[in-house]
Structure 1
Amino acid sequence: MTVKWWPVLVALACCFIHRTVHAAASVRLMDLRPVPSNDPAVPDLVEMPNPALDPRPSDLNVTVLLAKLGAKFDPNYMSYDMPEHLVPVADIPFRRNRRGRLVPTGKMPTEIRDLDTKYFSLPNGRRLRTKISSQLRRKIQQYLWGRTMCPVQQRWKDLGQRFWPRWLLEGHCPRGETSCSVPSGMYCRATSNRYKTLLRWHCRSAGPSAMLQQFNTLPGTKSSGVVNPMKVCQWIKVEYPVVTECGCGCADNSE
């Protein structure tokens, strides 16, 4: 069987041009200085101000709702009473060493821990040996660690009476007013989140059937007026994202 290579070459050329144009567009986007990137906070729901859609006092029995939520209730992130401190005391991720200097605490990031300070590579591929002592290497690591650190900032959010528990401890990343990278250009952004299960008061219509409504609108049919459908409300489980980790990175161009 004879293979016609000309159509194949044309297809490959078109594919190459498409990839080249896509890569060029990506390069243009990368050339833009990234704007400060904040964490993707969940937008507030626009609630319909109708008291009929609110849970009644009898629907807010703490014992019943705790049993309904079960093991999903996390007292570290949830509260059915207004917390005493809406902004918890921040845990400063630094401590003072024996010389009184501030050094980062916690687990050192892998990319900083594995930083090779014995050599550095030149653009032409050559490697130059450095004379950096272990003590100086530790100081460089601590500087980069502290410079690029993005701690999670927490505060309690009132979700409203149609959520239970009503108060949720949200995580936020430091706002992008100061770059966290060396050289500058990147900002703190959310890198990990965890979903918390909450109860949501949900109402649905339970009025006349569609067939009965159509019958009432037929010519010559006597109608008693507009029928207001009855609302049936209950607590349902929903997933709510909470930011648990922040990192230094480029802004998302979709924001």
Structure 2
Amino acid sequence: MFNNLVSMWCQWLYFALLLSSLQLSVGKALSINAIPTLDLRPVPSDDLDDIKAPSFQADSLPLAQTIDHPALRKKLGKYYDPQYMSIGKPRLPHYLANNTNLSQYVVKVTGLDEKTVLPQFKDFKLMGYDGKIYKIGRDSRKKVKRWLSSTTFCRVQYKWIDLSSAIWPRYILQGSCINDRSCSIPPGMTCRGTEYKYKRLLTYTCLIKRSHDKNGKTIVHKRCTWRKFKFPILTRCECKC
């Protein structure tokens, strides 16, 4: 119940601040000749935090020469997804091949759009700096909608990460939200992960059993095998409090 109230309060606050900001800035909005458009092309980012790979003890890691890739591929079966996982170190797409700095790229964008949230701006009036009420024309409405979309969108950025030899396949395409700016008007809210898809991978696990011989000496029995587990991959980011 408390979480629902907090969520409703955040939504109410967001739209209240949005309308307030538009009322104060309509004078500038009406005079805008060019408003940034939403760029869906792959873009680089040097600010993405490194994702920590899980740590394993050295004696629990399989030797490279003992990893039977065909057998593990068969064990993973239908869950192997080449779009999100790779056995060998992934190569960049052909359009990034000549620029190694572009290993991070955007593939999914969410934000205010004309079909869901923005229809409420079809007919509306706003107050300018001079205190007068202005009716927004069709062309200006399009510019305002385009400005809102380009200001409030959230991007999911993907990067290949190495999970070590204890995970198979060891290379996974991991997603994260880009927060190089606030996604709300006025600023304050940030892009946060809201949806994930789970991919099955294999992890190298060892079961250790200790026993004692007739002389009291401890004997360690170690049995290692590959087991399936679910790995979350972020697929959607939204503007949240």
Q: Shorter-chain TM-score category?
A: 0.5 to 0.7
Residue 179 of structure 1 is aligned with which of 168, 182, 187?
Answer: 182
Bigger CA drift: 105-114 or 229-238?
A: 105-114
Q: Which residue of 2 aligns with 1:69?
A: 76
Partner-residue secondary structure (3-state), 1:115 = helix
The answer to whether the Cα contact below 8 Å between 2:112 and 2:153 also exists between their aligned partners in 1 is no
Deviation at 1:178, TM superposition (A): 2.0
The separation in 2 between residues aligned to 1:75 and 1:242, in whole angstroms, is 14
Deviation at 1:117, TM superposition (A): 3.6
Partner-residue secondary structure (3-state), 1:67 = helix
Deviation at 1:106, TM superposition (A): 10
Aligned counterparts, 1:97-176, within 5 A: 108=113, 111-119=116-124, 131-175=135-179
Identical amino acids, percent of aligned pairs: 29
Alignment coverage as a number of residue pairs: 188
Tell which structure's C-alpha radius of gyration is larger: 1
1:246 counterpart = 2:233:
no
Gaps of 5+ in 1: 1-18, 31-37, 94-103, 122-128, 217-221, 251-255
**RMSD (Å) for aligned C-alpha atoms:** 3.8
Instruction: Could you list the structure 1 runs, at least 4 aligned residues long, displaced by more than 6 angstroms after superposition.
Output: 38-42, 104-107
Which amino acid is the alignment partner of residue 90 of structure 1?
Y
- Normalising by structure 2, we get a TM-score of 0.64
Deviations 1:61-95 (A, max 9, x none): 221111111111110110010112485463488xx
Aligned counterparts, 1:213-232, within 5 A: 223-227=215-219, 229-232=220-223
Deviations 1:168-194 (A, max 9, x none): 00001113x421110111112112111
| Change in 2 beyond 3 A, CA 1:196/1:147 | same
The answer to whether the Cα contact below 8 Å between 1:54 and 1:162 also exists between their aligned partners in 2 is yes
1:193 counterpart = 2:196:
yes
Deviation at 1:39, TM superposition (A): 10
Gaps of 5+ in 2: 14-46, 93-99, 127-132
Deviation at 1:153, TM superposition (A): 1.0
The separation in 2 between residues aligned to 1:78 and 1:156, in whole angstroms, is 9
1:233 counterpart = 2:236:
no
Aligned counterparts, 1:17-96, within 5 A: 44-50=53-59, 53-57=60-64, 59-85=66-92, 88=103, 90-91=105-106
The answer to whether the Cα contact below 8 Å between 1:170 and 1:242 also exists between their aligned partners in 2 is yes
The separation in 2 between residues aligned to 1:57 and 1:92, in whole angstroms, is 33
